[in-house]
Amino acid sequence: MPSSVHADEEAEPFLAARLADDEAWVAEVDDHVVGYVRLTETWLDDLYVDPAHAGQGIGSMLLDVAKAVRPAGFSLWVFEMNLPARAFYARHGLVEREHTDGSDNEERSPDLRMSWDDPASS
């Protein structure tokens, strides 16, 4: 992942503002939030799993929730260098649709748009 362009203390107010308009689902283990997915009407904006809980199916479960609540499909952006995330999304049926040089994102890092379209609607 490219280095963040925002200080850690900026994350909470940023997400709080976004959650006022977006939809979010959380995954809990023993009453502790260990992951979340944040969606707009057409975008999966965040999918995060605490690294201590990676590899336990939590990300897959959150992605399944996104597919269920957005049956018409959605897109997301992923950094080109994030090979594990790209492989994860590809395993779950998302397709690479567009590659950019990163000039339009804050990190200035090449990225790509992936999308999921419900196979039942094809």
Domains of the chain: 8-121 (3.40.630.30)
Which has the closest alpha carbon to 67: 46, 94, 91? 94
Position 102 scores a pLDDT of 87
Distance, in Å, from the CA atom of 78 to the CA atom of 96, rounded to the nearest integer, reads 10
Position 121 scores a pLDDT of 60
Position 28 scores a pLDDT of 97
How much is the pTM?
Answer: 0.85
pLDDT tier at 106, thresholds 50, 70, 90 = confident
Position 6 scores a pLDDT of 62
Which has the closest alpha carbon to 44: 29, 22, 61? 22
Position 2 scores a pLDDT of 59
Segment holding 113, helix H or strand E: strand 111-116
